[in-house]
Amino acid sequence: MDLSGRPQRLLGEGLLASATSHPEKVAVIVEGEPYTYSQLLKAVLCLKAALQSRGLMRGDRVAIYMDNTWPCIVSVYAVLLAGGVFLVINPQTKSEKLHFLLENSDARILLTDGHIATVFVPVVQSISTVEHVIYSGVLKLSLDDDTGFAHFDTVISEHAPSEQFAQVIPNDLAALLYTSGSTGNPKGVMQTHQAMVFAAWSLIEYLRLSPSEKIMLVLPLAFDYGLYQLLMTIKLGATLIVERSFTFPAQIYNRMLEESITVFPGVPTIFAMMVATNRKKKIVFPSVTRVTNTAAALTASMIPELKQIFPNALIYKMYGQTECKRISYLEPELIDSKPASVGKAIPGTELFLLSPEGKAVEHGEPGILYVRGPHVMAGYWKQPETTARMLKDGLLPGERILCTHDWFHMDDEGFLYFEGRSDDIIKTRGEKVSPLEVENVLQEIPGIKEAAVIGVTDETLGQAVKAFIVVEESMTYKERQLKKMCLANLENFMVPQSIVCL
Alpha-carbon distances, residue 502 vs 370, 443, 465 (angstroms): 40, 14, 17
Q: Tens of pLDDT along 180-226?
A: 865 678 999 999 999 999 999 999 999 999 999 999 999 999 999 99
Same domain flag for 451 and 407: no
Same domain flag for 303 and 373: yes
Is 198 contained in some domain? no
**Structural domain tally of the chain?**
3
Q: What are phi and psi of 39, to 5 degrees?
A: -65, -40
Last residue of a domain, one of 379, 396, 421: 421
Q: Which band of pLDDT confidence, cut at 50, 70 and 90, is reported for residue 418?
A: confident
Sign of torsion, CA 205 211 212 213? positive
Same domain flag for 367 and 489: no
Same domain flag for 388 and 443: no
pLDDT of residue 182: 59
| 113 DSSP β-pair partners | 136
SS3 string, 63-126, reads EEECCCCHHHHHHHHHHHHCCCEEEEECCCCCHHHHHHHHHHHCCCEEEEEHHHHHHHHHHHHH
Higher pLDDT, 394 or 387: 387
| 371 DSSP β-pair partners | 351, 402
Rounded distance between C-alpha atoms, residue 10 and residue 170, angstroms:
6
Is 235 contained in some domain? no
Domain of residue 67, CATH code: 3.40.50.980
When pLDDT is averaged across residues 435-449 and rounded to a whole number, the result is 86
Last residue of a domain, one of 421, 436, 463: 421
User: Can you tell me whether residue 408 is helix, strand or coil?
Assistant: strand
When pLDDT is averaged across residues 333-344 and rounded to a whole number, the result is 93
Residue 421: exposure state from Cβ atoms within 10 A (0-12, 13-18, ≥19) = middle
pTM of the model: 0.86
Same domain flag for 405 and 490: no
Domain that holds residue 492: 426-501
Q: Are 74 and 98 in contact (CB under 8 A)?
A: no
CA-based R_g, the chain, Å = 23
pLDDT of residue 10: 96
Q: Are 111 and 62 in contact (CB under 8 A)?
A: yes
Same domain flag for 294 and 186: no
Q: Tens of pLDDT along 326-335?
A: 999 999 999 9
Same domain flag for 371 and 457: no
Q: Assign 3-state DSSP to the chain and report helix, strand, coil percentages, each to 5.
A: 30, 25, 40
Same domain flag for 413 and 449: no
Same domain flag for 266 and 405: yes
